[in-house]
Chain A
Amino acid sequence: MEAPDLAEDPKKGLRIAAIAALVLAAVLLPLGVQNIFLLHILIMVFFYAYMASAWNLLAGFAGQLSFGHAAFAGIGAYISTLLFIAWGISPWIGMAVGGLAATVVSVLVGYPCFRLRGAYYSLVTIAFAEIIRLYVTSTQRVAGIELKGAAGLVLPLKGQAPWLFQFDSKVPYYYTILVMLLAVATVGTWVKHSKPGYYLAAIRDNQDAAEALGVKAARMKLYAAALSGFFTGMGGTFYAQYIMFIDPVSVLGIDLSVNLVVISVIGGIGTVTGPVLGSFFMTPLSEVTRLYLGSSYAGAHLVLYGLVLMLVVAFMPRGLWEALVTLEGPITRWWASARHRGMQVDSLKQAARNESRERQ
């Protein structure tokens, strides 16, 4: 009998097993963890992993580095919040509306840029995000809707109201962002291993060659921009519902945009695992320093962010993900040899059985 497919690619089997174990652990975790601060850190880890993954859909897979993704997050956050405050529309619906609005804006920003090469998209996204931030900062009211400018918006408390995306405990938020993270990771995996994904990789690595082979570069980049904008916008709504307060600095500021870049690059740009890995390393760092060093050393975690970013770019250009893959080699060999031994035992048993059958 032929060996099963899994044995041909032991790495794949190992990866599936590892991912299944991690997801199971993530699902079961809140049952064991009662510490609210720890739960908060995990929610933020998943949130930034989700946002960085959404950023990575465009930057990593299509090579278009956005430094203004906060604009899309802010659009999602402000739209769902304004719909809720002004008309009482559930933020669950607001999240979809915000995501779609961010998609449209992302396509509109990308459309003129993707014809150009080089760093133009990066520069335009910075400028665009700044325009939106400056506009919201200095606008109190637009078309009868209270925008409240720099002061920001406080979401009205409704207590335990699942239909309004509000919960008494942190656990439902935890599961919400976990599901969102799994969704974006699934889409990422699909994009990476689908025909459009291969087109995008080809464009990223050599646009001239890809276009010569008939790949519509600008259109493929737009698809990636749309997906990335959609998920980022929905992430903005999650942030608004979890924190219950949004202002131009937190959801539209350049700090958020840069954070997503840093997390993705440190973890490993262009991979599905990278942004998640990056967030697991960097987000606890920032949350813990913020708690223990507080305002007296406001920038402490950013010093570390900057230092790690410089080191990773210089010495580990494919990110921490690279280290994980290097580790994978020995584990895979061990796994494969274990399987091999198992199979040998099986085949010996089979041979012995055949032999005894022949004798009879």
Chain B
Amino acid sequence: MLLQNVVTGLLMGSVYGLVAFGLSLLFGVMKIVNFAHGAVLMIGMYVVVSLTGLVGFDPYLSAAIGTPMLFVIGYLLGLSVEPILMRERSTGPISVLLWTLGFSLFAINIVLIIFGADYRVVESFVSGKTLELAGVIISLPRLGAAIVAVVTFVGLYLLLTRTDVGKAMRATSQDMEAARMLGIDERKMCRMAFAISSATTAVAAGVLVPFYYVSPTVGDVFQLKSFVIVVLGGIGTISGCLLGGLIVGLVESLGAQYLNATYAQMVVFLVFVVILLVRPMGLLGKERE
């Protein structure tokens, strides 16, 4: 039973980590606290649901089409907040945070009006199928989600370490002033960070849909958990996101087994507050000054 919970927790945790990555990237590179992250995930899920519902694609295929779409949406979001970010370069981007909060309210409730508050389920070719391994029952859609998440993480690692855009982003996150002096255009960084953030979130949306209920407020839970994960793992580190995600997944699944589901959520937030207060740079974050 213990092993079962550990496996379930880790599978879910890797998806949490993937969702949190987008938030971490924006936080790390542009110092933006993105309150619209959950809404972007929700939009991604509805894109998948709509493509599957209207055209009849499998959710995974819909996700492959939805990811570039969300890349564009993210790019547009970056374009929208760019002037605000430039205006408040010196004071810290609190206005951007408020803008994303406005976008989140707007997007969630537009979707609520269009699609209604009903929970939606989408069937994939793996839905409901399981795999038994050493007495542990593994749900196939969850296994698929975890595999895709890990592969995406590897891809993101390569993107950030091997490509010019990725290197420029990392430079910006380490020292914005120095990056600017080296000719890195922070406006472009802002747009790219938003675009990549929302594209990875779309991947997560795609792998979640086959086993997760979709509703207009589905992003809220992920939004809060992503904050927890980002702070837990250390802002702006890829491995930190994955680690934070796995921890949250484990705490949830073990907590739900031995306490109850609501208390498990409380424990997640308690761990978060304690980490914030004791080690604000996160578990894998570097000490600053």
With A120-B276, A297-B113 known as contacts, the answer to whether A135 contacts B266 (CB < 8 A) is yes
Output the nearest chain B residue to A204 by Cβ-Cβ distance. Answer: B91
Question: Beta-carbon contacts of B253-280 to A below 8 Å, as 1s and 0s?
Answer: 0000000101101100110110011001
Q: Point out the residues of chain B lying under 8 angstroms from A123, CB to CB.
A: 33, 227, 231, 272, 276
Closest to A317 in B: B95
8 Å CB interface, B88-139 against A: 91-92, 94-95, 97-99, 101-110, 112-113, 117
Does the CB pair B108–A309 fall under 8 Å? no
Does A83 sit at the interface, judged by CB under 8 A?
no
Pair B266/A131 contact, Cβ less than 8 Å: yes
Are B273 and A124 within 8 A (Cβ)? yes
Residues of B within 8 A of A305 (CB): 102, 105
Min C-beta distance of B226 to chain A, whole Å: 11
Asked whether A303 and B101 contact (CB < 8 A) given A124-B273, A134-B262, A134-B265, the answer is: no
Q: A189 contacts the other chain (Cβ, under 8 Å)?
A: no
- Contact between B87 and A317, CB atoms less than 8 A apart: yes
A interface residues, tally (CB under 8 Å) = 41
Q: CB-CB < 8 A to B80: which residues of A?
A: 314
For the complex, give the distance between the alpha carbons of A254 and B224 in Å.
Answer: 11
Contact A261 B98 (CB under 8 A): yes
Bound together, the chains give a CA A313 to CA B94 distance in angstroms of 10
Q: Within A96-142, which residues are at the interface with B (CB < 8 Å)?
A: 112-113, 116, 118-120, 122-124, 126-128, 130-131, 134-135, 137-138
Central interface residue in A128, A300, A305, A314, by most chain B CB within 10 Å? A314
The CB with the most chain B CB atoms within 10 A, among A118, A122, A134, A308, is that of A134
Contact B102 A258 (CB under 8 A): no
Partner-B contacts on A (CB < 8 A)? 63, 65, 112-113, 116, 118-120, 122-124, 126-128, 130-131, 134-135, 137-138, 205, 254, 258, 261-262, 265, 297-300, 302-303, 305-310, 313-314, 317
Asked if A313 and B33 make an inter-chain contact with CB atoms under 8 angstroms apart, the answer reads no
B99 touches A299 (CB 8 A): no
A314 contacts B277, C-beta separation under 8 Å: no
Q: In the complex the two chains form, is B109's CB within 8 Å of A131's CB? A: no
Q: CB within 8 Å of A: which residues of B?
A: 33, 80, 83-84, 87, 91-92, 94-95, 97-99, 101-110, 112-113, 117, 216, 220, 224, 227-228, 231, 260, 262-263, 265-266, 269-270, 272-273, 276-277, 280
Instruction: Give the distance to chain A from B259, nearest Cβ to Cβ, in Å.
Output: 10
With A298-B117, A309-B98 as contacts: A258 and B266 at CB distance below 8 Å: no
Query: Which residues of B lie under 8 Å from residue A128 when comparing CB positions?
Result: 269, 273
Contact B105–A258 (Cβ < 8 Å) = yes
A225 to chain B minimum Cβ distance, whole angstroms, is 16
Chain B residues, Cβ within 8 Å of A265: 98
B196 to chain A, nearest CB (A): 21
* Chain B residues whose C-beta falls within 8 Å of the C-beta of A113 in the assembled complex: 276-277
Q: Known A131-B266, A138-B260; judge A314-B108 contact (CB<8 A).
A: no
Query: Nearest CB to that of A116 among chain B residues?
Result: B280
Closest to B106 in A: A306
C-alpha gap A258/B109 in the complex (Å): 14
Minimum Cβ distance to chain A for residue B30 (Å):
13
Q: What residue of chain B has the Cβ atom nearest to residue A259's Cβ? A: B105
Q: Is B224 in contact with A130, judged by CB distance below 8 angstroms? A: yes
